């Protein structure tokens, strides 16, 4: 095992070279994840390439990076120029948040015809995560121009347009992502967040509810739904069913929105309850409560 680690540390220095994707074939483990390989999840060496690629896809989707690395290493050892395996290596880097490696690998593959569109999609997402928005936008647009079914590229374009306050373009991008794959809680949540930023609260609430019907455990959608309900003035529904440990934070957030809406009575009641429910002194809720009282004093 130490020998393998040394070999991978050496490979890191080659990460930005075109030879990276073929060099990886010599290494059984890429050392990208903290997870331990699961032998039962890795097909036998004799398994066909398609079966190995499917197993690699499943491992990447589940963030089992070490398993994916072993599977892809087996493919590339036999066929160093297998572009489908190389694409999965790049995706593996993206999942592992190795963004420089991912961007370099996707960029290299964007010149390969059979995986070009997906490579551009991956490149765009990697660049978005690095904050290189213009470069990301260019790559993502090229990706969907070549393959309109790439929902991840459409979703990332929606996020990009939200950062630019280009609401029509953002909405169209999310709708294109959902047209390609309707049952995507992540995209429904992102669409709802875009609508929330536009102060289209009822529509945002509907989008968040759709996300939660698909994926009830999606925390981001649950939190966003509470904010959207609060903006609609549905304070009781916004705070319903909250776990005891999360209640002070939710009450404070909903109370703050009540301040912004000018519902000072509701805000004071919510923030006071946040103070009571907090196991220790809640400085944020206390400040917000003081702000409500200052506003009221100024009006008097």
Q: Is the dihedral of CA 40, 45, 50, 56 positive or negative?
A: positive
Least Cα distance to 218 among 188, 241, 240, 251 occurs for 188
Phi-psi region of 66 (alpha: psi -120 to 50; beta: other; left: phi over 0): alpha
**With bands split at pLDDT 50, 70 and 90, how would you rate the model's confidence at 122?**
very high
The number of domains in the chain is 4
State the CB neighbour count (10 A cutoff) for residue 48.
9
Both 238 and 216 in one domain: the answer is: no
pLDDT number for residue 48: 84
Look-up of token digits 């790559």: 139
**Domain termination residue (choose one: 53, 68, 96):** 96
pLDDT in tens, 15-71: 233 344 433 333 333 444 445 555 555 555 556 889 999 999 999 999 999 999 999
pLDDT number for residue 296: 80
What percent of the chain stands above pLDDT 70? 84
Quick check: 1 pLDDT over 90? no
pLDDT number for residue 298: 78
Both 117 and 172 in one domain: the answer is: yes
101 falls within a domain: no
Both 28 and 78 in one domain: the answer is: yes
Quick check: 212 pLDDT over 90? yes
Tell me which of 183 and 298 has the higher pLDDT: 183
Least Cα distance to 189 among 226, 239, 150 occurs for 226
Q: Is 81 buried (19+), middle (13-18) or exposed (0-12) by CB count in 10 A?
A: exposed
pLDDT number for residue 40: 52
104 falls within a domain: no
Structural domain span for residue 82: 1-96
Both 18 and 78 in one domain: the answer is: yes
**Domain termination residue (choose one: 232, 248, 272):** 232
pLDDT number for residue 297: 77
Say which DSSP state 13 is in.
T
What percent of the chain stands above pLDDT 90? 79
54 falls within a domain: yes
140 falls within a domain: yes
Quick check: 206 pLDDT over 70? yes
Phi, psi of 226 (to 5 degrees): -60, -40
162 falls within a domain: yes
125 falls within a domain: yes
103 falls within a domain: no
Both 92 and 5 in one domain: the answer is: yes
3-state class (DSSP) for residue 294: helix
pLDDT number for residue 49: 87
pLDDT in tens, 67-97: 999 999 999 999 999 999 999 999 999 999 9
Both 199 and 274 in one domain: the answer is: no
Provide the CATH number for the domain around residue 172. 1.25.40.10
DSSP assignment of 190-248:
HHHHHHHHTT-HHHHHHHHHHHHHH-TT-HHHHHHHHHHHHHTT-HHHHTTT--GGGHH
Both 219 and 247 in one domain: the answer is: no
105 falls within a domain: no
Segment holding 151, helix H or strand E: helix 151-163
Quick check: 8 pLDDT over 50? no
pLDDT in tens, 219-247: 999 999 999 999 999 999 999 999 999 99
Least Cα distance to 198 among 221, 169, 219, 175 occurs for 169
Both 170 and 195 in one domain: the answer is: no
């Amino acid at each position: 095992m130490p020998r393998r680690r040394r070999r991978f540390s050496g490979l890191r220095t080659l990460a930005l070279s075109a030879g990276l994707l073929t060099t990886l074939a010599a290494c059984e483990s890429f050392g990208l994840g903290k997870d331990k390989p699961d032998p039962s999840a890795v097909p036998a060496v004799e398994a066909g390439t398609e079966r190995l690629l499917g197993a690699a896809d499943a491992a990447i989707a589940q963030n089992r990076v070490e398993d994916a690395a072993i599977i892809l290493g087996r493919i590339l050892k036999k066929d160093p120029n297998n572009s489908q395996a190389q694409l999965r290596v790049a995706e593996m880097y993206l999942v592992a948040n190795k963004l420089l490696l991912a961007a370099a690998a996707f960029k290299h593959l964007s010149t390969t015809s059979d995986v070009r569109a997906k490579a551009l999609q991956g490149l765009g997402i990697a660049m978005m995560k690095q904050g290189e928005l213009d470069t990301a936008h260019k790559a993502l647009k090229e990706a969907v121009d070549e393959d309109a079914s790439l929902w991840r590229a459409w979703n990332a374009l929606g996020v990009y347009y939200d950062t630019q306050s280009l609401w029509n373009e953002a909405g169209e991008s999310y709708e294109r992502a959902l047209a390609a794959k309707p049952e995507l809680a992540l995209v429904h949540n992102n669409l709802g967040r875009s609508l929330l930023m536009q102060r289209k609260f009822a529509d945002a609430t509907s989008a968040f509810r759709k996300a939660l019907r698909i994926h009830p455990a999606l925390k981001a959608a649950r939190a966003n739904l509470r904010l959207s309900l609060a903006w609609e003035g549905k304070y009781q529904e916004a705070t319903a069913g909250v776990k005891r440990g999360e209640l002070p934070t939710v009450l404070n957030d909903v109370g703050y929105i009540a301040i912004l809406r000018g519902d000072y009575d509701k805000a004071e009641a919510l923030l006071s309850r946040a103070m009571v429910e907090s196991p220790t002194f809640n400085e944020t809720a206390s400040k917000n409560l003081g702000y409500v009282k200052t506003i009221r004093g100024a009006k008097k």
